[in-house]
Amino acid sequence: MTEERSRRAPGFRHGEKSAPVETALNIYLHIKIQYTGQIMYTVNMKAKLKSNPNVAYSCNYHVVWCPKYRRPVLINGVDIRLKAILQEVCTEFNAELQETEVMPDHVHVLVGVDPQFGIAKLIRYLKGRSSRLLRQEFPWLKSRLPTLWTNSYFVSTVGGAPLSVVNQYIENQKNV
């Protein structure tokens, strides 16, 4: 029995990184970025990967959603409180809230999330908790809308463009 154990591959304790995950954390990416027109260039950058015990990942998403009937109700302090709630929820679920812009009638969020947790689950928590808390703290929202958010949202992975470009796009939404 002891000979059989010595032939097996060494096991890993909980929280210890396996060899493939450790290797993935040290990968350098060679990214090709193509913009409209004929300008094409490459960027070398070290991968900013996160990991849990069995996955190394870099999953960043651009998410947009609207209040019911696209009413401009995210004003008069609601926008500031919404940003705080979104940050609290992301911290609770180990997601990285990279950028947030609240417009009167929609919300832009750039967030990194563990693929095993999932973006759909995170959005459900973000919209659900923010709706409940905002409607409690701002009673006038209850009289304007039957529910705060629509059931739908837009989500896109952020892989083709550098995060700085997406950050700049979200920051400049108020200037459009």
Instruction: Give me 130's structure tokens.
Output: 């923010």
Helices 119-137, 78-92: crossing angle, 10 deg rounding: 140
In terms of Cβ atoms closer than 10 Å to its own Cβ (0-12, 13-18, 19+), residue 73 is: buried
pLDDT value of position 35: 39
At 176 the pLDDT is 64
Q: How far apart are CA 148 and CA 12, in angstroms?
A: 46
28 included as an active-site residue: no
175 phi, psi to nearest 5 deg: -85, -10
Grouping H, G, I as helix, E, B as strand and the rest as coil, residue 28 is strand
pTM (2 d.p.): 0.70
d(CA 88, CA 95): 10
Query: What is the rounded distance in angstroms from the CA atom of residue 157 to the CA atom of residue 59?
Result: 7
- Widest pairwise Cα distance in the chain: 73
Average confidence (pLDDT) per 10 residues, the chain, 176 residues: 46 46 39 37 52 84 95 95 97 94 95 94 97 96 92 88 78 77
pLDDT for 10 equals 45
8 A C-beta contact, residue 40 and residue 46: no
User: CA distances (Å), 53 to each of 20, 94, 113, 164, in order?
Assistant: 11, 14, 15, 28
The catalytically annotated residue of 28, 69, 125, 169 is 169
Return d(Cα 98, Cα 61) in angstroms, integer.
10
